[in-house]
Amino acid sequence: MVSARGTAPSARLLALHTGLLGSLLAMDFWVAVGYGTTGLSDAASEIGVGVWFAGAGLVIWRIRPRSGHGAWTLGLGYLVLVGNPHDFAPSAELPGYAFFTVVGAGLTMFQYAVSAHILLGYPTGRVHGRAARGLVAGAFALATVGGPLLLVTRTVDHTTCVFWCYDSPIQLVADRGLYLALRRCSLVAWVVLAAAVLVLLALRVARSTARERRILGFALGAFAGTVAMFAGFEVATVVAGTGSVPETIFYYGHTWAAAAALVVPFFAGLLSERLAFAAVGDLVRRLERVPAHQVEAELGRTLRDRTLRLAFPVEAFPAAAFSADRLPADALTTDALTTGAMTTGALPTDEGDEGLVDVAGERYTVPTDGSRAVTVMGSPPIAVMIHDPALVAHRDLLHAAGAAARLALENARLHARIQHQLAEVKASRQRIAAAADTERRRLERDLHDGAQQRLLGIGFTLAVLRGQVGSPAGHRLLDELDNELRLAVRELRDLGQGIRPAVLTDAGLAVALAALARRCVPLPTSRFPNASIR
């Protein structure tokens, strides 16, 4: 009696479930009033828990059909309502007493297993992680074996029993020692499983983002309170006795703390989402007054994700890298924006973010470690939203925010592309200047190490030759050659320094310009002309 996966239940299906739940509710009232021995207050509490889970499950299923959370919560409500006649400890005069006893006792432990699944599968209803799946599988295995095993070995000492002193209709082994040992082992196993669920929840809260932590923190606290109150209930039962005030307080406390831990977090998240929807209307008004580079911050504020980032495609953006067939099926939702498609999910592990720039025009690389989720807006894409993975479950909110910010995103994309182009031009100029500077240094080095060294070598040769020439005319000729050679060396040195003056490297541009001015013009260079001349 479920709808196709991901579709909302029809009115006929909802009416069918409502009728079945109403019949179970009437049956519970009939058993509690006519045959129950636990008291009407206990019966009312148990019935209230069943109605709480069943009603919440129907509501969640209706408003979040893509999430399995509603179906599991509804199933837990059915388990509670079906098992209530057994929990009321009815007298043997109840028609169908054996049936109610066997069914109720056999299904009681399944309530614990389903509760573990709901806690570890929030908010999608699907449990992720090997440890969590193994824990849930262990809980269902224990429920499958534990309930029937306790029924076939149930042996009651009627001389000392004061509560739930019924005999099992399907007893096969009448060994009280064995029964008590199995019951203690079952209790210890469930306590260990509950502690393991607490540990996994605590680890998930520690690793979660701020958005998830606000919701999961409540579930962790409420379930920790449930375990503590259950321990107090067991202690109070032994110390103060069944029916005592402490035992009653701890009984109701752990029952309703568990009910709150399993349901309230979802509706708290729903309330947070509705408040975010209300903020989308304000987003349109705010975006009219903010510059393009602040669109990212405004979207993050509206979606309550301070870590949200926007990236924009430039040339050769591979939009197909974010197509629906390459996104994980359990994290994928698609919807339409005003002029294109919006795809939400986790980023593929292969390259899919080439050609992306952030709001400042800098190259942006999307994290691929699973810590972020990606929403591609438009087809062809106009923007990529990198956000908290918890927002994947709220595709309607993402759609509304993306549609509201459509024009602002277009402006932000143009702004980012302009900033990127300016950065590319600046980088290109820097590369050209660096290449020219490198070439000048090379020329200077070649002149210094090549032609200049050869001319100096010729000068040394002339000096040697001077000592071998005896005539005055020869000395004059050598002096002229030496002068010409020195002049050539000086001009060559000046040429090398002109290509890359040493003063430019040592003292900077201002000092180099002043030195050049002093060499070229015999005028003072320590003051500027009058303002009127300038």
In this prediction, residues 117-135 reach a mean pLDDT of 88
Neighbour tally for 78: CB within 10 Å: 19
Each residue of 245-264: pLDDT tens digit? 888 888 888 888 888 888 88
Whether residues 29 and 156 share a domain: the answer is yes
| 334 in the same domain as 194 | no
Mean pLDDT of 105-128: 89
Q: Is residue 6 situated within a structural domain?
A: no
> Any idea what DSSP says for residue 89?
-
Q: How confident is the model at residue 534 (pLDDT cuts 50, 70, 90)?
A: very low
Rounded to an integer, the average pLDDT of 445-461 is 69
- Rounded CA gap, 67 and 123, in Å? 7
Q: How many domains does the chain have?
A: 5
User: How does residue 326 score in pLDDT terms, banded at 50, 70 and 90?
Assistant: very low
Half-sphere exposure of 459 toward its Cβ, with a 13 Å CA cutoff? 15
d(C-alpha 126, C-alpha 133), whole Å: 9
Same domain membership, residue 486 and residue 338:
no
Res 492 pLDDT > 50? yes
Same domain, 128 and 230: no
Instruction: Please give the residue range of the domain that contains residue 366.
Output: 292-418
Is residue 127 included in any domain, yes or no? yes
Among 134, 179, 130, 135, CA closest to 153 = 179
Identify whether residues 465 and 381 lie together within a single domain. no
**pLDDT at residue number 295:** 79
Please choose, from the candidates 377, 372, 399, the residue with its C-alpha nearest in 3D space to the C-alpha of residue 388: 372
Query: Looking at the domain assignment, is residue 523 inside a domain?
Result: yes
Q: What is the pLDDT of residue 528?
A: 57
Looking at the fold, whether 181 and 220 belong to one and the same domain comes out as no
User: Is 436 within a domain?
Assistant: no
Does residue 473 lie in a domain region?
A: yes
End residue of a domain, out of 266, 289, 312: 289
**Start-end of H helices in 240-354:** 245-287, 295-302
Whether residue 76 has pLDDT greater than 90: yes
Burial (CB count <10 Å: 0-12, 13-18, 19+), residue 51:
middle
Calculate mean pLDDT across residues 339-345.
43
Average pLDDT for the chain: 78
Per-residue pLDDT, 4: 55
Average pLDDT over residues 318-324: 44
β-strand partners of 69: none
Q: Are residues 260 and 374 in the same domain?
A: no
Q: Average pLDDT of 519-530?
A: 61
Q: Per the domain annotation, does 444 fall within a domain?
A: no
pLDDT digits (tens, 9 = 90+) for 278-308: 777 777 777 767 776 777 888 888 787 888 8
Distance between CA atoms of residues 24 and 79, nearest Å: 10
Query: What is the tens place of the pLDDT at every residue in 233-244?
Result: 778 777 776 677
The pLDDT-based confidence of 74 (bands split at 50, 70, 90) is: very high
Q: Is residue 427 part of a domain?
A: no
373 shares a domain with 323: yes
Residue 429 lies in a domain: no
* pLDDT at residue 502, as a whole number: 65
Residue 268 CB neighbours (<10 A): 14
What does each C-alpha distance from 139 to 113, 115, 214, 252, 534 come to in angstroms? Answer: 5, 10, 27, 23, 89
Residue 100 confidence (pLDDT) above 80: yes
Q: Does one domain contain both 128 and 17?
A: yes
For the stretch 161-204, pLDDT in tens is 766 778 888 888 888 899 889 989 998 999 899 899 989 988 88
* Same domain (yes/no): 189, 216: no
The pLDDT, as a whole number, for residue 337 is: 39
Based on the fold, state whether residues 24 and 62 are members of the same structural domain.
yes
If asked whether residues 76 and 173 sit together in one domain, one would say: yes
Among the three residues 258, 289, 320, which one is the final residue of a domain in this structure? 289
One-letter amino acid at 311 equals A
- Higher local confidence (pLDDT), 156 or 350: 156
